[in-house]
């Protein structure tokens, strides 16, 4: 085992029990984060990004079930951890920034109450020490007037500030891995840039592992070392950022990159036909096959094994397997 590996997700299958049946969302997701490495996960909405991230911390909703797979954190399987160990992991090792800061902060508790509660549970500190720690975290998140923020309810803060508070929460103590689940999706363009800059700056400074989940391809490209592309509960392509973006291999990745409008105003793509499949009855074989322009018979039957097309750049597509 590579000692450098911080987190390794192997063959993760996750489904949700609903009244209509089981929705098979994740189908064999794998992911590796090295110490201090910055990872990007891109994919459209509904591709299973958030489910993957929630599985790591085992905070899936009560109807979510991990059917198969392993998640190793420094060699320990998170999925087999006892509750106390899990709490320890959540308190000290991995933290998560949620997509929507408005819904992620309990509206009825002051920022300070929440932070103190978290710090006290994690570190067993005195009230004053805990408060000091919280204020420091807020200051680190570049919040003006941390005292006031500490004493505010979430609704009294702007969206950008709320997300900074979430960042502050995620940076309390010495975390080794920070998961940022679409941290800027609901923010305005200029604020987005600010928050993202802050986050990358902090991550770089502290040299922690970082999983940056996003739909914004540009933002991912600018900020991470390696990138995973997800489609319908599968990782279909991954590799060093530059390689994936400059030389996308999977038909989906190619199309996706074409779809992004360019500032240079080059010719516009026609988009990808169809939409993300229904997870109750997902397509057999490669889940992209109904939308793929290069679909072959075997695509409908088997899920393609990943192929390393260049160093560290893998793609799971039958087009390349044959070659």
Partner 1 sequence: MFKYILVINVKSKIVRCVFKMRAIWKYVGKRVLYVIPTLIGLSIFIFILSRVLPGDPALMAAGPNAPKWVVEQIRHQLRLDKPLWEQYYYWLVDLFHGDLGYSIYTKRSVTVDVVEYLPASLQLIFLAALFEIGGALALGIISGRYAYKLPDNMVRVLAYIGISVPSFVWGLLFQLIFASLIPLFPSHGMYSYGTISPPRVTGFSLIDSLIAGQFDTFVDILWHMVLPAFALSLGAMAQDARIIRAGMVDTLQKDHVSLVRAYGIPERTIFSKYILKPSLVPAVTVMGMDIASLLGNAFMVEMIFQWPGFSRYGINVMLNKDINGIVAVVLVIGIIFAIANILVDVVVAYLDPRIGRRSA
Partner 2 sequence: MENEYILKIQNLKKYFETPYGTVRAVDNISLKVRKGTTMGLVGESGSGKSTTGHVVVGLFPPTSGKIFFKNKDISVPLEKRSKELKKDIQMVFQDPASSLNPKKIIRDIVGLPLKVHKMVQTKEELEEKVAKLLEMVELPPEDFMYRRPVDIGGGEKQAVSIARAIATNPSFVIFDEPTSALDVSIQAKIINSILNIQRKFRLTSLFITHDLSLMRNISSEVTIMYLGKVCEIAPTDVFFQKPLHPYTQMLLSSVPVLTKEEEELKPKGIKSIGEIGSPIHPPSGCRFHPRCPYAKEICKKKEPRLIEVEPGHFVACHLYAEK
Minimum CB distance to partner 1 smaller for 90 or for 289: 90
Instruction: Tell me the C-alpha to C-alpha distance, in Å, between residue 270 and each of 99, 114, 231.
Output: 29, 47, 19
Given partner 2, partner 1, none, residue 65, with its beta carbon under 5 to 8 Å by kind, binds none
CB 201 within 8 A of CB 195: no
The two beta strands, 64-73 and 307-310, are: unpaired
Among 70, 194, 240, 282, binds partner 2 (CB under 8 A): 194
CB 97 within 8 A of CB 170: yes
Stretch that binds partner 2, among 16-24, 52-60, 255-263, 308-316 (CB under 8 A): 255-263
Q: Which of 75, 50, 63, 69 is nearest to 18 (CA)?
A: 63
Q: Which of 144, 170, 159, 156 is nearest to 111 (CA)?
A: 156
Minimum CB distance to partner 1 smaller for 103 or for 247: 103
256-285 positions binding partner 2, by CB under 8 A: 256-265, 268-273, 275
Minimum CB distance to partner 1 smaller for 60 or for 259: 60
Q: Which of 105, 9, 13 is nearest to 57 (CA)?
A: 9
Can you tell me the distance from the alpha carbon of 251 to that of 319, in angstroms, rounded to the nearest whole number?
9
Given partner 2, partner 1, none, residue 20, with its beta carbon under 5 to 8 Å by kind, binds none
Given partner 2, partner 1, none, residue 162, with its beta carbon under 5 to 8 Å by kind, binds none
Can you tell me the distance from the alpha carbon of 46 to that of 30, in angstroms, rounded to the nearest whole number?
17
Considering the complex, what minimum distance in angstroms separates the CB of residue 257 from partner 2?
7
- Work out whether 18 is an interface residue with partner 2 (CB under 8 A): no
Considering the complex, what minimum distance in angstroms separates the CB of residue 156 from partner 1?
5
- Work out whether 219 is an interface residue with partner 2 (CB under 8 A): yes
Binding-site string for partner 2 from residue 153 to residue 192, where x marks contact by CB under 8 A and - marks none: -----x-xx--------------------------xxxxx
Per DSSP, which regions of 105-257 are E strands? 177-181, 209-214, 226-231, 234-240
10 Å CB burial of residue 173 (0-12, 13-18, 19+) is: middle
Question: Which residues contribute to the site for partner 1 (CB under 8 A)?
Answer: 54, 57, 59, 61-62, 87-92, 95-96, 98-100, 103-109, 114, 117-118, 121-122, 152-153, 155-156, 166, 169
Given partner 2, partner 1, none, residue 24, with its beta carbon under 5 to 8 Å by kind, binds none
Can you tell me the distance from the alpha carbon of 145 to that of 28, in angstroms, rounded to the nearest whole number?
46
Binding stretches for partner 2 (CB under 8 A): 44-45, 158, 160-161, 188-194, 196-197, 215-219, 221-222, 245, 255-265, 268-273, 275
């Amino acid at each position: 085992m590579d000692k450098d590996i911080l987190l390794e997700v192997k063959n993760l299958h996750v489904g949700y029990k609903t009244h209509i049946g089981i929705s098979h969302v994740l189908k064999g997701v794998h992911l590796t984060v090295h110490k201090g490495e910055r990872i990007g996960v891109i994919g459209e909405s509904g591709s299973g990004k958030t489910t993957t991230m929630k599985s790591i911390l085992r905070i899936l909703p009560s109807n979510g079930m991990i059917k198969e797979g392993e998640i190793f954190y420094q060699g320990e399987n998170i999925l087999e951890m006892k509750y106390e160990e899990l709490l320890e992991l959540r308190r000290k090792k991995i933290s998560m920034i949620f997509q929507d800061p408005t819904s992620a902060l309990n509206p009825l508790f002051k920022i300070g109450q929440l932070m103190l509660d978290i710090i006290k549970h994690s570190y067993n500190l005195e009230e004053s020490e805990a408060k000091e720690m919280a204020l420091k975290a807020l200051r680190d998140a570049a919040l003006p007037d941390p005292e006031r923020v500490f004493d505010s309810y979430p609704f009294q803060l702007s969206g950008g500030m709320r997300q900074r508070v979430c960042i502050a929460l995620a940076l309390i103590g010495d975390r080794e891995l920070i998961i940022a689940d679409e941290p800027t999706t609901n923010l305005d363009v200029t604020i987005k840039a600010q928050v993202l800059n802050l986050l990358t700056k902090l991550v770089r400074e502290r040299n922690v592992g970082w999983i940056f989940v996003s739909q914004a391809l540009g933002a991912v490209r600018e900020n991470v070392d390696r990138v995973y592309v997800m489609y319908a509960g599968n990782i279909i392509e991954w590799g060093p950022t530059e390689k994936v973006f400059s030389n996308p291999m999977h038909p989906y990745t190619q199309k996706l990159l074409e779809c992004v409008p360019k500032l240079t105003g080059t010719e516009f793509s026609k988009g990808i036909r169809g939409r993300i499949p229904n997870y109750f009855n997902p397509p057999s074989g490669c889940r992209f096959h109904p939308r793929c322009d290069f679909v072959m018979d075997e695509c409908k039957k088997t899920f393609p094994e990943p192929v390393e097309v260049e160093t560290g750049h893998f793609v799971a597509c039958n087009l390349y397997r044959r070659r």
